[in-house]
Amino acid sequence: MRPSGTEPGDFVEYDMDLYEAQRRNRMRAALEASRVEMSRELGIELRVASEGNNLVLADAEGIRYRASLNHEGRLVLTATRGASLL
């Protein structure tokens, strides 16, 4: 966020592209940090991948978990297969 002027009543301009890039980097770092432990627990090799604008954890068979942030800024993983337990 950066001010567009210095006078009272001036607007604040949000750089949404920068905000989204920072959010995506934080999500990727959190996924990378937990990937090894989750791979060990599940007994499969997971990798962090991109699906469009979304980040996912995938294995050899395809996408296993989708990543998102909740309103508190916590990382949420949603299983995409019925047999997957988290």
Reported as a single tens digit per residue, the pLDDT across 17-71 is 888 888 889 889 989 998 999 899 989 999 999 888 788 999 988 888 898 888 8
Concatenated DSSP letters for 5-71?
-SSTTPPEEP-HHHHHHHHHHHHHHHHHHHHHHHHHHHTS--EEEEETTEEEEEETTEEEEEEEE-T
Q: What pLDDT is stored for residue 5 in this prediction? A: 59
- Enumerate residues 6+ apart whose C-beta is below 8 A from 4: 10, 11, 12, 13
Q: What pLDDT is stored for residue 6 in this prediction? A: 63
1 vs 14, 18, 26, 45, CA distance in Å? 5, 9, 18, 39
pLDDT at 83 over 70: no
pTM above 0.85, yes or no: no
Give the pLDDT mean for 79-83. 73
